[in-house]
Amino acid sequence: MFITRAIFVGSLVVSCPAVRAEFACDGVPVRTLAADAAVEERVCAIAEQAAQQLARCGLPLTREVTIRVVDEGLGDGCVGLYHCGQDLIEILSPQRLEVQRKEQSLFSNLATQRFFDSVVVHELAHAAHDALPCPSGVCLATSEYLAYNHQIMSLSSVDREAVMASIDMDRIVQHDEVNASILFFKPDTFAARAWAHLNQREDACDYLRHIARGDFTFDRERP
């Protein structure tokens, strides 16, 4: 399925001139391209950590993915994008991200560098999920459930608490409250519900494995 998946600040869109040769990360199937070598090294370090977390919860990186760090071209409110079927991720540079971020969003309390790191994890989760079968035929909300939860899981305990400060963790979230309509119109609400819902499972990582295998879906099956 050739669909473009984006994360906006409330969500994630495309275009980057190749100004450097792609840099191959050690130990993970990731290549990166940025104008700044230090950013490439940072992306590789985050990708290595993310790969371990993703694999532990049923989303191993099985195909080589290219991550391009760009300064423009992702559209209003968009900070990162995974191109489905193309093994390509585009993410705004930390400098551009600082300008593009919304002041009021689920992740607004995070420092820009740590938010950047979490976006890398979010998009790598999409890449890993894209390599797996989609039993329902449409897996948009399901993929975002995985991506947002892995994004928040990757944060330090302090940063997770900062994100959770704006989430009602005590209210029981029903399965059908996490859906594509909420994702499209209120992505921050979708992410908050997804995190609260996951934390109401007995074993979060085991539940994510079931999602990755297609045992549960947050999308309507195609007729």
Query: What's the CATH code of the domain at 23?
Result: 3.30.2010
Residue 212 lies in a domain: no
pLDDT band at 20 (very low <50, low <70, confident <90, very high): low
**pTM > 0.85:** yes
Look at residue 16 and tell me whether its pLDDT is greater than 80: no
Residue 223 lies in a domain: no
Residue 81 lies in a domain: yes
pLDDT band at 223 (very low <50, low <70, confident <90, very high): low
Cβ contacts of 169 within 8 Å, gap of 6 or more: 196, 199
Please give the residue that has the higher pLDDT: either 66 or 138.
66
Helix axis angle, 112-130 relative to 37-56, nearest 10°?
Answer: 50
Structural domain span for residue 9: 4-101
Look at residue 89 and tell me whether its pLDDT is greater than 90: yes
As a whole number of angstroms, the distance between CA 197 and CA 20 comes to 42
Note the pLDDT of residue 135.
84
Residue 176 lies in a domain: no
Residue 86 lies in a domain: yes
Lowest mean pLDDT among 47-61, 90-104, 167-181, 193-207: 90-104
Domain count, the chain: 1
As a whole number of angstroms, the distance between CA 204 and CA 223 comes to 30
User: 165, exposed or middle or buried, with CB in 10 Å at 0-12, 13-18, 19+?
Assistant: exposed
Are the C-beta atoms of residues 1 and 134 closer than 8 Å to each other? Answer: yes
Number of H helices, E strands in the chain: 8, 7
Residue 57 lies in a domain: yes
Look at residue 13 and tell me whether its pLDDT is greater than 50: no
Note the pLDDT of residue 15.
38
As a whole number of angstroms, the distance between CA 47 and CA 13 comes to 20
Residue 68 lies in a domain: yes
